Amino acid sequence: MIAQVIVDVAARQTDRVFDYLVPEGLEISIGSRVIVPFGNRKVQGFVVGFSEKSQFQGQLKDLLLVVDEMPPLTKELVALSADLAQQIFAYRISILKTMLPSVMRANYRKILVPVSDRAKAMPFFAGDVLDLSKISDPHLLKLVSQLLKNGDAEVEYLVEDKAKKKMTVLYTPLLSLEGYQELLTKVKKNAVQQQKLLTDLFENFAAYPKTREQLEGQKISLATLNSAVKKGWLGQKQVESYRKPAVLAKEKSQPKKLNDEQEAAYEAITQDVQERKSQTFLLEGVTGSGKTEVYLQTISEALKIGRTALMLVPEISLTPQMVAQVQARFGKEVAVLHSALSEGERYDEWRRIRRGQAKVVVGARSAVFAPLDNIGLIIIDEEHEGTYKQDKNPRYHARDVAIWRSRYHHCPLILGSATPSLGSRARAQKGLFKLITLKKRAKSQALPRVDLIDLKHVQFAGGQFDISVNLAEAIQKRLDRREQVILLLNRRGFANFMLCRNCGYVLKCPNCDLSLTMHKDTGVMQCHYCGHQEAIPTFCPNCHDRQIRFLGTGTQKVEEELGELFPAAKVLRMDVDTTRRKGSYEKILTAFGQGEADILLGTQMIAKGLDFPNVTLVGVINADTGLWLPDYNASEKTFELLTQVAGRAGRADKEGQVMIQTYNPDHYAIALSQKQDYELFYAKEMQVRRAGNYPPYFYTVLVTIASKNEQNAAREAFNIKRVLMAQLHQPTIILGPAPATVSRLKNQYLYQILVKYKKEDKLNALLHQLQDQAQEIKKYGLTVEIDTEPERIM
């Protein structure tokens, strides 16, 4: 039998199957993790198929080892990896590896082993092995090569991983119930521990076998257990135990009564769950409309018919409260996969899923690869979130993977959001997805009042032009009333663009209607779509005022200003810098929730899903920064952020207020977020997208050409563009090549080409071909990266 193996070598030339002979008697199947000889070393690999014959001309090698008892990958995941690799231009091995917990990643070591007696006697080998990767001393290296040459030592290649199964001891009764009863009468009166154990055995006989942890929890010592084993009272064996993260839910929650809107959604979805239809639903519901309850009840339905459920949430909202809600409903059947788990816990949760011991999986992006069998429902909450697209290789979008899996399992997929992504909403419009809207808020609270503050015509409270007098007054009012304030600093726009403080004008590209980005290094304003460039202005091209600024504000600066304006107020700052340490995110939120601070100042991460009853004012320091980013979806992201953050005000009985500071109060993304009117925004933004030939009217692919040599990168970029131009047809639009925003990264020069198309059947094959060709000419050190439907084109 021949096994087809994908080896753990991420390179263009090795991105295919290699055939190996399977030695007799090995338990192996599709999805098995194996160790194989590859060249003169050993690597990890995954079995993706079997065959009788091989096309390979040379002598096939035997595979060396099957690593796991149970294949870590299912047939489904192996098939998915093949399709996905093709779709997203990633190496298949990279995808297979992202499907698994990180502890299963191979760790390769080269060690030096003495073979001659002479070498074995050398103090140099003190002990037994010598890790070659840890030797850097030139003297030692010299010695090593000498030993190798003389045949005194050999290099051995090791493949290891960090996957450690936690073991425990399971104690099984060896005697009958009567036997223990009898022993209990015989045992000495002062042998308290033994009596305790025997009593438990007698009284709770049915609860056995018990693990060591269980018995230790009952205050029965290890010594007692050991002697019980010796006396033949108990049998013991080693078993795996799971590092189960704490179950957060205290008691089981019961399904809540649904209102008529929720009921209709529930009915529509459960029907397809029962009929096993791979229908995608777009569940559009305002904040507080009770989407979660619909999720929970439809999951119940999937479980009821003997299937499993997968639920994705953004990492940021995978909070303990969220997890607790699901656990409260489904108890021990829930497995949670998120980054707050230790690697070991994650591995254990993953194994529980793989073994079919968890029926409901809740997790962030990568949980879309959870090895669940027989999926009956998939849910993606906050489907508009950009984090569902991985921004490094392999660049997969969890939504696309979920759609693939829903087809495979014939099960429905729910995409839920208050502000659906334009693409999903448009698909719903076309009938590809089924649209379900929830308009009522479950507790029928009023939406908070939203005020726009036009920064062009306002006084600033401090000297930093960050906080207007209006906002400052509103903050002071809350401080006086001992209520809390959330301030959002929109950092999405840290790329420098030009804004006129007098008229609000933003310098834009004449061809693309997108803002130009300042390149300090080259001293120009440049468009990253088409490559247009012009000089950095010294006055506003619109009103000729000299009060122009290049924007990019920091949380620290605002924090200082708050300190000046409200010296008595306690401010908590939350951004990438203060939340880098594990657990600090929760810590800050808990502190704020307990009223330890008056103001929470933060970036995007405070906009989502937080619920603090004492917060009555939400202020947005700068609504504009994301607006003029050189991305076609800048308006969408801005609207989304403002709408989400507005939902943070007045969550309980106190009335909430939202103040949005902006230089562009008339821009539709901002004006409509004041009204919290998604549908109107959708209609308007679709017009803009249509006029600009952007998604969802066009598909996009971003091709990035990288080389250490700028000329080679540029030449290849133009080369690729030429081929694309020749092969693609109307109405396809090819923009660029243009240097990337960060035109040089790790000493690699980057050029980008954006392809916008409606239908190009050959495009995928063509791009694969171009990518191969470019990278085969290795002398230039060229790499071509392809990002389908990029989130950011910068």
Partner DNA sequence: AGCACGCCGACT
Partner DNA sequence: GTCGGCGTGCTC
**Binding-site residues, please?**
500, 503, 509, 512, 527, 530, 540, 543
> Which CB atom, from 41 or from 532, has the smaller least distance to DNA?
41
> Which CB atom, from 82 or from 688, has the smaller least distance to DNA?
82
Which helix or strand (DSSP H or E) is residue 261 part of? helix 260-274
> Which one of 53-61, 282-290, 385-393, 576-584 is the stretch in contact with DNA (CB under 7 A)?
53-61
Cα–Cα dist 741/702, whole Å: 13
Min. distance of Cβ 749 from DNA in angstroms? Answer: 17
408 touches DNA (CB under 7 A): no
Torsion-angle region of 465 (φ positive above 0: left; ψ -120 to 50: alpha; else: beta): left
The pattern of x and - marking residues 275 through 314 that bind DNA according to CB under 7 A reads: ----------------------------------------
Among 9, 103, 229, 723, binds DNA (CB under 7 A): 9
Cα–Cα dist 351/355, whole Å: 6
10 touches DNA (CB under 7 A): yes
Among 37, 209, 537, 692, binds DNA (CB under 7 A): 37
DSSP 57-125: -SPPEEP-EE--SS-SS-HHHHHHHHHHHHHHT--HHHHHHHTS-GGGSEEEEEEEEE-SHHHHT-GGG
680 touches DNA (CB under 7 A): no
46 touches DNA (CB under 7 A): no
> Which one of 14-22, 227-235, 358-366, 374-382 is the stretch in contact with DNA (CB under 7 A)?
14-22
> Which CB atom, from 20 or from 347, has the smaller least distance to DNA?
20
26 touches DNA (CB under 7 A): no
Among 24, 52, 53, 58, binds DNA (CB under 7 A): 58
Cα–Cα dist 607/316, whole Å: 10
> Which CB atom, from 111 or from 187, has the smaller least distance to DNA?
111
Torsion-angle region of 742 (φ positive above 0: left; ψ -120 to 50: alpha; else: beta): beta
Min. distance of Cβ 431 from DNA in angstroms? Answer: 44
Residue position matching structure tokens 């997968």: 310
Min. distance of Cβ 47 from DNA in angstroms? Answer: 13
78 touches DNA (CB under 7 A): no
Binding residues for Zn(2+): 500, 503, 509, 512, 527, 530, 540, 543
Who's near 670: CB < 8 A, 6+ residues apart? 452, 623, 624, 627, 638, 639, 642, 660, 662, 664
> Which CB atom, from 40 or from 747, has the smaller least distance to DNA?
40
Scan residues 139-198 and list those touching DNA (CB under 7 A): 142, 145, 155, 157
> Which CB atom, from 38 or from 698, has the smaller least distance to DNA?
38
Min. distance of Cβ 17 from DNA in angstroms? Answer: 7
56 touches DNA (CB under 7 A): yes
Q: Which DSSP category does 653 fall into?
A: S
| Tokens representing residue 458 in the block | 């306002």
φ and ψ at 484, to 5 degrees?
A: -105, 160
> Which CB atom, from 113 or from 187, has the smaller least distance to DNA?
113
639 touches DNA (CB under 7 A): no
Scan residues 85-144 and list those touching DNA (CB under 7 A): 108, 110, 142
> Which CB atom, from 50 or from 494, has the smaller least distance to DNA?
50
Nearest partner of 400 among 82, 84, 78, 697, judged by Cα: 84
| Tokens representing residue 489 in the block | 């600093």
716 touches DNA (CB under 7 A): no
19 touches DNA (CB under 7 A): yes
> Which CB atom, from 64 or from 324, has the smaller least distance to DNA?
64
Cα–Cα dist 643/285, whole Å: 13
The pattern of x and - marking residues 308 through 327 that bind DNA according to CB under 7 A reads: --------------------
Coil vs helix vs strand at 309: strand
Cα–Cα dist 127/120, whole Å: 9
| Tokens representing residue 92 in the block | 């298949």
For residue 274, count CB atoms less than 10 angstroms from its CB and return exposed for 0-12, middle for 13-18, buried for 19 or more.
Answer: middle
Who's near 626: CB < 8 A, 6+ residues apart? 490, 492, 493, 634, 637, 638, 641
Who's near 65: CB < 8 A, 6+ residues apart? 34, 35
> Which CB atom, from 152 or from 373, has the smaller least distance to DNA?
152
Min. distance of Cβ 61 from DNA in angstroms? Answer: 4
> Which CB atom, from 392 or from 581, has the smaller least distance to DNA?
392
For residue 249, count CB atoms less than 10 angstroms from its CB and return exposed for 0-12, middle for 13-18, buried for 19 or more.
Answer: middle
Q: 743-775 burial, b if ≥16 CB within 10 A, otherwise e?
A: beeeebbbbbbbbbbeebeebeebbeebbeebb
Size of the site for DNA (CB under 7 A): 28
Among 28, 41, 102, 714, binds DNA (CB under 7 A): 41
Who's near 658: CB < 8 A, 6+ residues apart? 448, 449, 450, 451, 617, 618, 619, 620, 645, 646, 649
Min. distance of Cβ 774 from DNA in angstroms? Answer: 13
Among 60, 129, 177, 543, binds DNA (CB under 7 A): 60
Scan residues 767-786 and list those touching DNA (CB under 7 A): 778-779
39 touches DNA (CB under 7 A): yes
36 touches DNA (CB under 7 A): yes
For residue 16, count CB atoms less than 10 angstroms from its CB and return exposed for 0-12, middle for 13-18, buried for 19 or more.
Answer: exposed
Residues forming contacts to DNA in the complex (CB under 7 A) are 9-11, 13-14, 18-21, 36-41, 54, 56, 58, 60-61, 108, 110, 142, 145, 155, 157, 778-779
